[in-house]
């Protein structure tokens, strides 16, 4: 008998029950899927979605740190940071990209299509324009465009413009050092950015949850550069390079006692504030190495005297200015051949033959050791990027011919900075100080982070250094038998040095070019008690003159005279007034009582007592310079605007105009005005760095 199964839901049709069961299964399956997805979202992928939520509602905000200042030895600014307005956008918050781009383009002067391309993305941040003017920033703020913001960020500014540009270098728009001190000291100049966690409200406004960590400014870099001396060197070098149509030029000024760099000039130069081509940013005194020529004879002679190989009065047969050597096709020649000279006269007249004979007597081992001791062939480790070591081959490999040519500056490459440091050592009693351009680094809280420490090295005996200074002084002697610098007059000061004129090597022809020269002058000022060492190099002068005394010598004279006057070093006065110079803005002057004025002959020197069989050392003849006598009669006041302190004082002395000065730097105001008749009260000058309340600011103080 068959069993009868009763339905659990009597009265409901079977089809309805099937549909109910199917619906239940579907709902159950759906609920399981939802549960599974909820598990995945909350458990398996919870961390990722929580991070996404944090990014939408919370954000880490960074405030750029102000870059540290760069200042000169007196605390005057060379590179500073100031707030600038920049425009940025959050494309996600922009409702109408095309309309926003059109409106923004009219405000900032950009192409609408370019702006639309920037704004049509899914990014949350994009720069629109950085470091805009205040007027543009105000206009953008007033427009109140959705998604467009104006923010403050640091901008680098160089108050001196081109003054010391290659040394200071520059930083990019993101405050990263690119050249010069800005690059080499970038880590110290960079500060610590400020950070904080901010929450966004419904309208996207930021609220800081736990406060904001303030940014830490970068350290202050104090350089040994003196901005006024740097301006003097920059101006004198630029004038010479332009006048001689030269390829480039270099000036280095060192403090003799410490090796500190007071000025380091390159031309062509550049303004770190200017955008575009920065080819002039090359800091040639450290990045370029040359075969310097005759300025190197000083080190050859110093080494020989220090070793006792020769004395200043030792005679050499110069073979009438032409010395033939084995392995050399042409003889070593002198520009002005003479039968014989003493060691002192070899420097005075710059004899190649004499220098070669001194080196041959000294020997390659001793000359090589002396040159290495003076720092050639090795970096000075100055705090600047791109320094070259120069090249000097091991002395044990020198042939006799190489020994002879290295004696007068060929076959060895050196940097202008190395030469200046060597001359400074001779001016400092033979004590060498490695040159430095950074005086100290000071943190934002006043902690000194860096002080240069270099052990002084006794290069040569003090007596050797004194003898070399006397020899260098003879180079300036005037008259028929004067030295190679006889035509160089350093107003008010007695100096010593060495001229140099070197043929440049042409790598294409693999020969020395007959018409390309490196003209140089290196020396000490004043020579009796040296305060500064100066090296001047003019690369490839054109127009006829190429001798170092004619091309580089006048730059040395200008830099030496104006720098020593600026430093307050006592000098001699001139016996008669020179012809008033022609300066920009100066009114023509006609002397109502013309006078004839000449430089007096040197004072007679008592003859030295000469022992039999010896030759006395040439006497050092001091050339007194003319005295600035007041100009009598009516005289109109010239235009002093833009002149530096030294130039203004020189001009006032030449014209006999009493001055009352305030401040330093360059002249920005004068009273009475140019063209007025000189009054008994003289002229009052206000300089750019003065503290007077009526002083007008200038963009490029010297």
**CB under 8 A, 24+ apart: contacts of 652-658:** 652/682, 652/683, 653/628, 654/577, 654/578, 654/580, 654/581, 654/628, 655/580, 655/589, 655/631, 656/628, 656/629, 656/630, 656/631, 656/632, 657/682, 657/683, 658/682, 658/683
For residue range 464-481, what is the model confidence (pLDDT) as tens digits?
Answer: 999 999 999 999 998 888
- Convert the pLDDT of each residue in 454-463 to its tens digit: 789 999 999 9
Quick one: pLDDT at residue 238? 95
Q: Are strands 340-342 and 315-317 parallel, antiparallel or unpaired?
A: antiparallel
**What is the rounded end-to-end Cα distance, in angstroms, of the chain?**
125
Conformation bin of residue 390: beta by default, left when phi > 0, alpha when psi is -120 to 50: left
Structure tokens at 494: 């007695």
CA dihedral of residues 89, 91, 93, 99 (deg, nearest 10): 90
Pick the more confident residue, 516 or 329.
516
Between 637 and 268, the more confident residue is: 268
Query: What are the tens digits of pLDDT across the range 565-623?
Result: 999 998 875 433 344 444 333 333 333 333 333 333 334 334 344 344 433 333 332 33
Q: Which residue has the tokens 């693999």?
A: 510
Coil, strand, or helix at residue 222?
Answer: strand
Once rounded to an integer, what is the mean pLDDT over residues 332-342?
90
Closest CA to 72 of 481, 665, 541: 665
Beta-sheet pairing, 315-317 with 220-223? unpaired
Q: Is the pLDDT score of 412 beyond 80?
A: yes
Cis peptide before 672 (omega within 30 of 0): yes
Whether 154 contacts 63, CB under 8 Å: no
Q: How far apart are CA 488 and CA 470, in angstroms?
A: 17
Q: In the chain, how long is the greatest CA-to-CA distance? A: 164
Write the pLDDT tens digit of every residue in 626-675: 333 333 344 578 878 777 766 777 677 667 777 777 766 677 778 888 77
Compute the mean pLDDT over every residue in the chain, rounded to the nearest whole number.
80
pLDDT at 391 over 70: yes
CA-to-CA dists, residue 10 to 4, 17, 100, 106, 625, angstroms: 13, 10, 71, 81, 136
Say if residues 175 and 166 touch (Cβ distance below 8 Å): no
pLDDT for 596: 34
For the purposes of burial, counting CB atoms within 10 Å of the CB of 172, is it exposed (0-12), middle (13-18) or buried (19 or more)? exposed
Q: CA–CA separation, 118 vs 97, rounded Å?
A: 10
Q: State the Cα–Cα distance between residues 180 and 692, nearest whole angstrom.
A: 34
Whether 294 is a known active-site residue: answer: yes
Q: In this predicted structure, what is the pLDDT of residue 63? A: 62
Inform me whether the pLDDT recorded for 170 exceeds 80.
Answer: yes
- Pairing mode of beta strands 511-525, 496-506: antiparallel
What pLDDT does 588 receive?
Answer: 39
Q: Tell me the per-residue pLDDT of 213-252, one tens digit each, with 9 for 90 and over.
A: 567 888 999 999 999 999 999 999 999 999 999 999 999 9
**Beta-bridge partner residues of 523:** 497, 534
CA distances from residue 15 to 18, 28, 88 in whole angstroms, order as listed: 5, 20, 67
Could you tell me which residues are beta bridge partners of residue 536? 251, 521
Which of these is catalytic: 248, 294, 350, 520?
294
Residue 201 has pLDDT above 70, yes or no: no
66 alpha-carbon distance from chain centroid: 22
Rg (CA), the chain: 37
pLDDT at 574: 44
Task: Identify the pLDDT of residue 433.
Answer: 96
pLDDT band at 394 (very low <50, low <70, confident <90, very high): very high
Whole-angstrom distance, CA of residue 146 vs CA of residue 96 = 9
Q: Is the pLDDT confidence value at 700 over 60?
A: no
**What pLDDT does 668 receive?**
76
Q: Percent of the chain scored above 70 by pLDDT?
A: 79
Chain segment 488-532, per-residue pLDDT in tens: 999 889 999 999 999 998 888 888 888 899 999 999 999 999 999
Give the CA angle between residues 14, 15, 21 to the nearest 5°: 90
pTM over the 0.75 mark: no
Lowest-confidence pick of 56-60, 73-77, 576-580: 576-580
Task: Express each pLDDT in 552-570 by its tens digit.
Answer: 999 999 999 999 999 999 8
Q: What is the mean pLDDT of residues 68-82?
A: 91
pLDDT higher at 697 or 177: 177
């Amino acid at each position: 008998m068959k069993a009868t199964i009763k339905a659990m839901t009597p009265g409901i049709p079977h089809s309805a029950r099937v549909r109910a069961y199917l619906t239940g299964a579907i709902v159950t399956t759906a609920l399981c899927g939802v549960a599974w997805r909820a598990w995945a979202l909350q458990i398996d992928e919870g961390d990722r979605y929580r991070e996404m939520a944090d990014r939408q509602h919370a954000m880490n905000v960074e405030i750029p740190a102000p870059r540290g200042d760069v200042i000169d030895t007196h605390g005057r600014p060379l590179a500073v940071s100031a707030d600038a307005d920049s425009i940025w956008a959050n494309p996600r918050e922009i409702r109408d990209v095309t309309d926003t781009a059109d409106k923004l383009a009219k405000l900032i002067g950009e192409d609408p299509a370019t702006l639309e391309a920037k704004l049509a993305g899914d990014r949350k941040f994009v720069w629109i324009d950085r470091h805009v003017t205040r007027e543009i920033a105000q206009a953008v703020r007033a427009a109140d465009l959705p998604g467009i913001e104006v923010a403050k960020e640091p901008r680098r500014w160089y108050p001196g413009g081109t003054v010391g540009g290659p040394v200071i270098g520059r930083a990019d728009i993101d405050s990263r050092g690119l050249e010069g001190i800005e690059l080499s000291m970038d880590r110290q100049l960079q500060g610590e950015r400020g950070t904080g966690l901010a929450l966004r409200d419904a309208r996207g406004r930021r609220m800081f949850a736990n406060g904001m960590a303030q940014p830490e400014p970068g350290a202050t870099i104090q350089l040994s550069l003196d901005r006024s001396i740097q301006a003097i060197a920059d101006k004198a070098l630029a004038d010479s390079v332009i006048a001689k149509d030269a390829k480039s030029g270099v000036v280095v000024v060192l403090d003799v006692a410490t090796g500190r760099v007071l000025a380091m000039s390159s031309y062509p130069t550049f303004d770190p504030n200017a955008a575009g081509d920065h080819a002039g940013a090359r800091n040639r005194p450290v990045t370029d190495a040359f075969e310097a020529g005759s300025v190197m004879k000083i080190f050859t002679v110093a080494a020989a005297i220090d070793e006792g190989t020769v004395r200043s009065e030792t005679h050499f047969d110069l073979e009438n200015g032409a010395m033939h050597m084995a392995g050399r096709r042409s003889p070593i020649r002198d520009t002005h051949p003479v039968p014989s000279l003493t060691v002192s006269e070899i420097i005075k007249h710059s004899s190649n033959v004499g220098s070669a004979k001194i080196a041959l007597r000294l020997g390659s081992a001793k000359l090589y050791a002396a040159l290495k001791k003076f720092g050639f062939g090795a970096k000075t480790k100055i705090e600047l990027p791109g320094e070259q070591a120069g090249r000097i081959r091991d002395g044990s490999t020198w042939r006799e011919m190489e020994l002879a040519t290295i004696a007068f500056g060929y076959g060895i490459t050196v940097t202008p900075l190395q030469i200046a440091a060597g001359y400074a050592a001779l001016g400092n009693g033979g004590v060498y100080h490695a040159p430095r351009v950074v005086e100290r680094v000071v943190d934002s809280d006043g902690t000194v982070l860096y002080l240069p420490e270099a052990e002084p090295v006794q290069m040569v005996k003090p007596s050797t250094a004194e003898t070399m200074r006397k020899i260098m002084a003879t180079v300036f002697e005037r008259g028929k038998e004067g030295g190679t610098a006889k035509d160089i007059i350093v107003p008010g000061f007695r100096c010593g040095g060495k001229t140099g004129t070197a043929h440049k090597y042409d790598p294409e022809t693999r020969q020395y070019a007959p018409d390309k020269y490196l003209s140089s002058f290196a020396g000490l000022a004043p020579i009796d008690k040296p305060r500064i060492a100066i090296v001047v190099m003019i690369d490839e002068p054109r127009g006829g003159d190429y001798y170092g005394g004619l091309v580089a010598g006048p730059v040395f004279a200008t830099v030496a005279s104006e720098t020593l006057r600026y430093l307050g070093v006592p000098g001699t006065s001139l016996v008669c007034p020179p012809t008033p110079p022609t300066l920009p803005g100066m009114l023509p002057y006609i002397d109502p009582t013309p006078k004839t004025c000449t430089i007096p002959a040197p004072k007679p020197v008592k003859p030295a007592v000469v022992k039999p069989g010896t030759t006395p050392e040439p006497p050092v003849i001091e050339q007194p310079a003319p005295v600035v006598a007041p100009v009598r009669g009516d005289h109109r006041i010239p235009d002093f605007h833009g002149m530096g302190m030294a130039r203004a004082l020189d001009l006032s002395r030449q014209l006999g105009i009493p001055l009352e000065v305030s401040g330093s730097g360059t002249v920005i105001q004068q009273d009475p005005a140019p063209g007025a008749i000189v009054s008994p009260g003289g002229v009052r000058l206000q300089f750019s760095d003065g503290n007077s309340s009526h002083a007008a600011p200038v963009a490029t103080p010297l």
